Amino acid sequence: MEILKEKIREYGVLVSDNVLKVDSFLNHQLDPEFIVAVGHEFATRFAGDEVTKILTVEASGIAVALTTAMEMKVPCVFAKKNKPSTLQGEVYSSIVHSFTKNETVTISVAASYIDSNDRILIIDDFLAMGAASKGLIEIVGQSGAHLVGVGVVIEKGFQKGGQELRKNGVRVEPLVVIKSLAAGKVEFE
Amino acid sequence: MEILKEKIREYGVLVSDNVLKVDSFLNHQLDPEFIVAVGHEFATRFAGDEVTKILTVEASGIAVALTTAMEMKVPCVFAKKNKPSTLQGEVYSSIVHSFTKNETVTISVAASYIDSNDRILIIDDFLAMGAASKGLIEIVGQSGAHLVGVGVVIEKGFQKGGQELRKNGVRVEPLVVIKSLAAGKVEFE
Give A59 to chain B, closest Cα distance, Å.
Answer: 5
Supply the pLDDT for residue B164: 98
Pairwise CB contact (< 8 Å): B28 & A100: no
Q: List CB contacts (< 8 A) between A85 and chain B.
A: 15, 19, 100-102
Q: List CB contacts (< 8 A) between B59 and chain A.
A: 58-59, 62, 78, 80-81
Supply the pLDDT for residue A28: 96
Residue A84 clears pLDDT 70, i.e. is over it: no
Handedness of CA B18, B156, A92, A116 (dihedral sign): positive
- Whether B86 has its CB under 8 Å from any CB of chain A: the answer is yes
Largest CA distance in chain B: 50
Residue A171 clears pLDDT 70, i.e. is over it: yes
Pairwise CB contact (< 8 Å): A15 & B85: yes
Dump pLDDT digits (tens) for B41-78.
999 999 999 999 999 999 999 999 999 999 999 999 99
Dump pLDDT digits (tens) for B82-102.
776 777 789 999 999 987 778
Backbone angles phi, psi at A99, to 5 degrees: -75, -30
Backbone angles phi, psi at A83, to 5 degrees: -15, 110
Q: State which residue of chain B sits closest to A25, comparing Cα positions.
A: B75
- Whether B115 has its CB under 8 Å from any CB of chain A: the answer is no
- Whether A104 has its CB under 8 Å from any CB of chain B: the answer is no
Pairwise CB contact (< 8 Å): B28 & A87: yes
Spatial CB neighbours of A4, under 8 Å, sequence gap ≥ 6: A34, A38, A153, A154, A175, A176
Dump pLDDT digits (tens) for A101-112.
788 999 999 999
Q: Above pLDDT 90, what percent of chain B?
A: 90
**Closest by Cα among A82, A76, A112 to A94:** A82
Angle of the A62-72 helix axis to the B32-45 helix axis, nearest 10: 110
Rounded to the nearest 10 degrees, how much is the dihedral formed by the CA atoms of A89, A94, A99, A100? -30
Supply the pLDDT for residue B3: 96
- Whether B16 has its CB under 8 Å from any CB of chain A: the answer is no
Supply the pLDDT for residue B139: 98
- Whether A87 has its CB under 8 Å from any CB of chain B: the answer is yes
Average pLDDT over residues A158-162: 96
- Whether A14 has its CB under 8 Å from any CB of chain B: the answer is no
Supply the pLDDT for residue A152: 98
Average pLDDT over residues B160-172: 98
Q: Above pLDDT 70, what percent of chain B?
A: 99
> How many Å is the Cα radius of gyration of chain B?
16
